[in-house]
Amino acid sequence: MQRLKVWDPVIRLFHWCLVGAFVANAFFTKPGKPVHEWVGYAVAGLIALRLIWGLFGTRHARFSDFRPSITDAIAQMRDMVTGRRHVHAGHSPLGAWMIYNLLLTMIAIAITGYMQTTLQFFGVKWVETAHVFFVNWAEISIVLHITAVIVESRRLRVNLAKAMVTGYKDIVP
């Protein structure tokens, strides 16, 4: 078995704090209430930290390590269909697309959420509609992300969820 150090503590803390904050605001806080807003500010802060860490962090945390590529994503899908097993040290090509999708979606949620707290946009229907749309898109994306983690963990024989807890990918040859 090969053990790769992949996810640093900042990435793991960011990931699980974002999970907790999103779950809190999606299911446990009331929109428009102070707790919902403060959790939203925390999400915005987490995203800001991740953007900075994506430029200056460790190897697999850097955006340069997982640039989105249509060609590479198609190759990964081909591997999935043909049963070819190719373990990526950091994010897979499809994983990279999902990370960018989730980051941009969280930014959109934070911006439209903040807009609703301002005098200029309070009660403006399109802002509320956009906020709800992005939350719904995030929920769909999260379900796809979790499904992909489960499917790829089984297919590649690498516990990807465990790697996000421990920081290490244990790769079975």
What is the SS3 assignment for 124?
A: coil
| Full residue range of the structural domain in which residue 83 is found | 2-171
pLDDT given for residue 18 in this prediction: 98
CATH of the domain at 114: 1.20.950.20
Those residues whose C-beta lies under 8 Å from the C-beta of residue 144, and which sit 6 or more positions away, are 98
Maximum Cα–Cα distance for the chain, whole Å? Answer: 59
In contact, 164 and 7? CB cutoff 8 Å: yes
Asked if 127 contacts 110 with a C-beta cutoff of 8 angstroms, the reply is no
Measure the CA–CA gap between 128 and 8, rounded to whole angstroms. 36
- The end-to-end CA distance of the chain, in Å, is 6
Residue 31 and residue 56 in contact, taking contact as beta carbons nearer than 8 Å:
no
| pLDDT score, position 172 | 84
Q: Are 61 and 76 in contact (CB under 8 A)?
A: no
Q: Are 133 and 111 in contact (CB under 8 A)?
A: no
Q: pLDDT averaged over consecutive 10-residue blocks of the chain (173 residues)?
A: 95 98 96 96 98 98 96 96 93 97 98 96 96 98 98 96 96 84
Overall number of domains in the chain: 1
Determine the pLDDT at residue 173: 79
Cα radius of gyration rounded to whole Å, the chain: 18
Paired with 5 in beta bridges are: 168
